[in-house]
Structure formats: C-alpha cells, structure tokens
A and B are shown apart, each in its own frame.
Chain A
Amino acid sequence: MRPRELFVALLAIVGLARRRRRRRERPARVVPPGAPSPRAELAVLALLLVAALCGAGFVVAYFVHPNTQVLGAALAGALAAIGAALVVTAQHLVVTEEVEEDYPTPNPEEQEAVAQIVAESGSRLTRKRLLGAAAGLAGGALGAALIAPAVSFGPLFDSSSMYATPWRRGRRLVDVDGNPLRAEAIDFASFYTAFPEGADRESIAAAVVVVRLPPATLRLPPGREGWAPQGILAYSKICTHAGCAIALYRTPKFAPTQPGPALVCPCHYSTFDPARGAAVEFGPAGRPLPQLPLTIDAAGELRAAGNFSGPVGPAWPGVRSHPAS
C-alpha cells in the first residue's frame, strides 16, 4: 500500500469512528450513575415473587375458603412484599442523590400589575358605593332565594311534633312483646321497659322505665300525690341530656344501701333519683326525667293516669318545661 492510500484509509477510519461516536453521544447524565447491586436485585425479585404468591393465594382463598382472616393476611402479605420491594429499590437500586432548588419568591411586579388592572378597570364607574350596595342587595336576595328551598328539609317552624307523646289517660302499659304490665309483677330492685299499648314505639316519647320503691321512701315533687300507686313509678326512658336510653338501674341489694337506687344513662352517666321525681343526682343532665302518672286498674294492670310532667328527651332553646300535651 502506498503511503498516500494508507493516509486516506486512516482518515476514513478515523472519520467513521468519529461519526459513530457522535451518533452514540448522549447529553450529559442528569441522574448520577450508581454501582449495580445484584443482591438487592435478588431481594426485590424474591419480594415480588412473594407478592405474586400472596396475590394468587387471595384469589384461591376467595373461591375456595373465603375466610376473612386468610383473605386479609393474603392481601396484606402481597402489599407488604410490594412495599418492601419498593423500599429496597429506593435504598439500593436507584441513586439517592440530593438536589437543590431555590425556594419560590414573591413577585412584586406582578402583584402591582394585578392590582392595577383591577383598579383601572373600574375607573369608568362614578357611583361605586351605590352600585356596590345594589349588587350586594341583588346577591343577598338571590342567596336567600337559593337557600329557601332548604326549609323543605324538615318542619323548621313547627315544634309541636317535639312535644307530642302517645300517652293518654287510661292507656295501658305493655312490655316489649305487647303484654300488659301487672302491678304485682313489678319487683323491687329491677326495672322494666314499657310502651303505650298500640302506639308507635319509634317515637322517643313512647318508652318509659318502670321501677318499684318502698312508698315510704318516695319524696316526689308537690302535686304528684298518687302518681306512684304502691310505690310503682314510671319515667320517660329517654335521657334529658342527649337523648340516649336510660339503660342502667343502680339498685343496692345489700348493705351498704347508700347511694340509693338511681336511673343511669350509659352515654354520659347522667344519674337520676327515682324516689325524688328523677331529679338529677349527678352527671350533665339539666332536667329531671319526665314522670308519667300511673294508676292500677281493676284487673291489677298499670295504666297511665295522664301525660308526662314535662317535655321528653334532650332540651332545645325555647323548650317549655310545662306538662306535655
């Protein structure tokens, strides 16, 4: 080969190589390189296989033996394995580099421009306050019109439904199965739930608790003479604090017999003394439980002798504590 030909051939090779190199050239890396970690890859692989197994296990369990514990464990296992695989990936398989950024700063010029645009746009208006007041009026009226249909949500102005009770003079007291309550069946040291015969029990004014105390221990408020024949008392079962059912009866069965019998609400432990017209003995209730006057008919069954001594259930602003109607 002659020197000139050799020179040309060399040039061609170098040029080709350079072109090839240029084609391979990439922009500088953004994400810094890191060393491979075959062990971490193996761990991720194993974790993903565990996840696949657990996932498949869930499907199998779902069709074969859909036990809540097995299903929960399988799903949790799959998710935990995937979570662990991602954590291993984050720690060992991608670079944990640190980047720096400037915190954003305010833009005073733009702020000024915004304010200027708004201010200048209104400069043609001469009666701004009057127009503003009119717009406020229109907006307020429209708002009222849009809110008004919400009144249909419930009996907004009619509070009579909250005073209503199904009790009437002469109405029999029945137990949860509809059997009349007999006076002789009312024991000391126990309490009974009773309803007005034939009435809707969903009303909070329906249920009463019935207890029996020695007549000599009663200290009922004046005007309630004869409301508790043979020491049998009936009070509304709905707590006057927040409306839960009075589901507890504290009654000492042996000495010490103090503190005495009490009706207790299990929600906030309002404690009422049945011997004193269910006056509040402890706890947050602000009113006594309304008392239902009782009478015993010729058949020995309990009947209402009137209506409650006051409105039933939790209070609301303006509630009158006069006898229910």
Chain B
Amino acid sequence: MRSDPLRDPVRFVDERTGAAPFLRKALRYAFPDHWSFLLGEVALYAFVVLVATGIYLTFFFEPSTGQIVYHGPYAPLRGVQMSEAYRSVLDLSTTVKSGLLIRQTHHWAADVFVAAIVIHLLRIFFTGAFRKPRELTYVIGVTLLFTALLEGYLGYSIVDDLLSGMGLAIGNGVALSAPVVGGALGRLLWDGPFPGGPAFEPRMFIAHVLLLPVLLATLIGAHLTLVAARHHTQFRRDARTTERRVVGIPSFPGQAPRSLGLLALVAALLFALGGLVQINPIWLWGPFEPWLGTNGAQPDWYLGWLIGALRLMPGFDVTIGSYTLIPNPFWGGVLFPTVVLVVLLAFPWIERRRSGDRATHNLLDRPRDAPGRTAFGLALLSWVVLIFFAGSADRMTVFFGWNYVTQIWVYRVLVWVVPVVVFFGARRVCRDLRDAERIERVAEATARAPEPGPGGA
C-alpha cells in the first residue's frame, strides 16, 4: 500500500483514539457569520497573548519586597531605596532587550482583554443570547469578567511602583471595610496591617501567575465547551435559519483561516501598542512608600467604575457610639460591584420569571425585539458608565478647570436620574421601532394580496 501523508496520520489517530467521527463533526461545525460573533474570539486571543508574554515576564520578575538601593543605569533613581520587585521590573524595562516591549504588550493585552469581554457581554446581553439553553455559558462568562478584573488589578499591583502601592492601599481599605470580617480579612490577606508582611508580595505573585490564570483558563475551557455543546446562536436571516437548524461557515476550511487571521491581527495590534504606545512608565512613578502619593492617579480603565463609586460616596461611616460598623469604602468598593455582579448573574432567571418564557432560544433577538430587556440593560449600563465617568472628574478639573466639588454633586444626582430616563426612553424607542415594523409588514402584505374578484379567487 502506498503511503499517504494525509490519510496515514488520520488513520493512526482514529485507530488509537476513535476520534475520526468527532474530528469529522468538528471540521464541519457550523459557525453562523456575523461580525459581532468575533468579539469573544478577540478576548480569547488577547488571553493567548497575555499568557505568552506573561510567561516571559516571570523569568525576570522577583516577587520580593526586600529593600535594596538602586545602582542601575537609570540615572534619576540612582541611590534610591526600593524593593527588589520594583528593581526587577525597572531592569526589565531598561536593560533587558525586548523586555519593555513584552511588558508593555502584556499590559495592553490586559486592557484589551477586559474591553473585549465587556463588549462581548454587551452583545450577548442585548441579543438575548444568554437565554435557555445557554445560561451556564453566560454565568461562566460573567464570572470570567470579574476574575479578569481581579487578575488585572493584581498584575499592576505586584510591580510595587508608586501607583500600584496606592492601588493596594485602596484595596486594603476596601477589604477592611467588609462588614464584621473586614479587619480580620485585611490582616489575613496582607499578613498584618498595611503595607503588609513579607509574605504578601509572593502571595500576590502566585495568585497572579498561577491561581487566577489557571482559573481563567479553566473557565474559558468550560465556556467554549458549552458553546460548542449547544452550538452558536444565530440571527434570523432567511427561511433556513430557524430555532432548530443552524446555518454557518464550517470550521474547516471556512472558519479556520478567518479565526487564525484574527489571532494574528489581535497579536499584531497588541505588539504594535506595546512597542509604540507607552503604558505604565513605572520609572516615572518611582517606588512606593506608604507616605507618598501622586496627584491625578488613575488606575487601568477597567477599575474606573470602582474609583468613581468610591469617590461619589458622601463622607460617612456607619457607627454606633465610638465603634465603626460599616466603613465608607464598603459602599463603592464592595456593595456596588457586588450588586452589578449579582444582577448580571441572575438576569437570565429574572427575565424568565418576568416574561414566563421557558422556551429554548437559538435565534437571537434584535435589541428592539425585547424592549424591557434592552431598556433595563441600557439603564444598568448608563448607571455604571456614569459612575465610571465620575471617576475621571479630577481629570476634567485639570483639563477644563471644572470645579471638582460641583462635578461630584452633579454626578451624585445624575447617577440616579439618568438610568430612569434611559430606561423609559429606550423602552419607548424599542416599542416604536417594533410597532413600525409590524405596520410595514401588514401594509406590504395587504399590497401584495390580490384583490378578491367578484366570483372568488
């Protein structure tokens, strides 16, 4: 028998694993075609870049707060006392060839990763893709988003530059504010009072490079497995796309080069950003000391909503006599994100209870098809986005000279008014659009219908 470079390996694999039927199905798996279905893939590929660049960085990073005096090539910091963690990132950024490129690409990839997840979530939400039978896929996705936020926060915190130290101080303040257990929680996580014991830095490191990445990878695996198990949703396009049949491009040869091309383009974008657009220049911030702070400190974009929430709260602690019950950071730092998380997680079941719709849905809604959902989603989004913008009020003061206190008072009112207005406005618009379509359809049908003749058709 002549050897065949294609059939031989396939035979080899199938005889030993029985995978041929599965492979055949996998190659012809139908991907419904719509640009918005690529958003999740962008997140996936940003994660691939994060893992690749992150592994490289671990070979240079020293997770230690042991103090040394800097004698390296960066003149402005010579003679300054700093932690070994900060010094190792400084060296990585100044003396290691391609070190700065990989570090900046890693940072940009984190920002793009979270952004892609958020936009993907919006697509899923407003098209009703979370409905039965995909609630679990959705719940895992929301969990992924919040895990990614924590992972990103730890990522910029382990560097031990001034900004990351300020971020950790706030994180400590938020942890301490948890009702009942706050003080114990803070001491437990930080190995003592802030800035923490020597075990704290290695702890953050192992969480950032092992625990959370493994959790993220596991969640991504479960997410994708569930997507494949229930197949992609699709928009109603023609008579062939129904609740029972999916129409799409097969994974091979149609989808594979598209998807790999997207991987290459996402990686290209991230390396272009990492090489050409400076991000987190830690040598300018300097090492962290608890008594140092810098004006106009802004975290990575995906924590802006939490900064905003912390800043908007009026100044009060809940106290009984001289005992504090609930410190202030609890409201913006714990309660607010928890409310958003719980509402997002519970939404498939909330909607189900309100609509009584227990059917399986493989066809996507357009936002107008579900006015209640769209209105609620936009209201929630406007609430979070306004709080996000409130977090940048100090920048507005710097750029435009707007009074900070006035801005905060305006936001304190807007965050409760705007979502209500958005809810009713969006619902109105959706209903009008839907009704207008219905009228058009009826008009078309009437125009097309033949005039009934005197003797019948």
A interface, CB within 8 angstroms of B: 30-31, 62, 66, 68-73, 75-80, 82-87, 89-90, 94-104, 150-151, 153-159, 161-162, 164, 193, 195, 201-204, 206-207, 237-238, 241-248, 265-270, 280, 282-287, 313-322
Query: Does B194 sit within 8 A of A, measured CB to CB?
Result: yes
Q: Closest CB-CB distance, B57 to chain A, in whole Å?
A: 15
Query: Does B246 sit within 8 A of A, measured CB to CB?
Result: yes
How far does the alpha carbon of A89 sit from the alpha carbon of B248 in the complex, in Å?
A: 18
Query: Does B446 sit within 8 A of A, measured CB to CB?
Result: no
Q: Is the CB of B268 within 8 A of A103?
A: no
How far does the alpha carbon of A64 sit from the alpha carbon of B263 in the complex, in Å?
A: 29
How far does the alpha carbon of A95 sit from the alpha carbon of B261 in the complex, in Å?
A: 16
Contact of A317 among B28, B182, B229 (CB under 8 A): B182
Q: Closest CB-CB distance, B50 to chain A, in whole Å?
A: 15
Q: Closest CB-CB distance, A301 to chain B, in whole Å?
A: 20
**One of B212-220, B250-258, B381-389 at the interface:** B250-258
Q: Is the CB of B297 within 8 A of A266?
A: yes
Chain B residues positioned under 8 Å from A158 (CB to CB): 187
Chain A residues positioned under 8 Å from B362 (CB to CB): 103
How far does the alpha carbon of A315 sit from the alpha carbon of B247 in the complex, in Å?
A: 58
Q: Is the CB of B315 within 8 A of A270?
A: yes
Chain A residues positioned under 8 Å from B273 (CB to CB): 72
Query: Does B202 sit within 8 A of A, measured CB to CB?
Result: no
Chain B residues positioned under 8 Å from A317 (CB to CB): 177-183, 324-327
Most buried by A among B174, B177, B297: B177
Q: B256-271, CB under 8 A of A: which get 1 and which 0? A: 0110111111011101
Provide a sorted-by-A list of 30 A–B residue pairs whose CB atoms are within 8 angstroms: A69-B276, A71-B101, A72-B104, A80-B268, A84-B261, A87-B257, A89-B257, A97-B250, A98-B30, A98-B248, A99-B248, A101-B245, A102-B246, A154-B197, A201-B291, A206-B291, A246-B293, A266-B295, A266-B297, A268-B311, A284-B310, A284-B315, A284-B328, A285-B328, A286-B319, A313-B193, A313-B194, A317-B179, A319-B323, A320-B322
A-B pairs, top 7 by smallest CB distance, nearest first, are: A72-B275, A286-B317, A242-B173, A247-B293, A86-B261, A83-B264, A207-B291
Q: Is the CB of B183 within 8 A of A316?
A: yes
Interface SS majority for chain A:
loop
Contact of B188 among A30, A150, A237, A265 (CB under 8 A): A150
Q: Closest CB-CB distance, A174 to chain B, in whole Å?
A: 13
**One of B139-147, B164-172, B335-343 at the interface:** B164-172
Closest B residue to A270 by CB, please name it. Answer: B315
Known contacts: A266-B297, A321-B322. The answer to whether A103 contacts B244 by CB under 8 A is: yes
Q: Is the CB of A318 within 8 A of B183?
A: yes
Chain B residues positioned under 8 Å from A154 (CB to CB): 187-192, 197
Q: Is the CB of B245 within 8 A of A72?
A: no
Q: B29-63, CB under 8 A of A: which get 1 and which 0? A: 11000000000000000000000000000000000
Known contacts: A284-B314, A284-B332, A319-B323. The answer to whether A103 contacts B261 by CB under 8 A is: no
How far does the alpha carbon of A165 sit from the alpha carbon of B261 in the complex, in Å?
A: 59
Q: Closest CB-CB distance, B324 to chain A, in whole Å?
A: 5
Q: Which of B13-31 touch A at CB < 8 Å?
A: 28-30
Q: Closest CB-CB distance, B316 to chain A, in whole Å?
A: 5
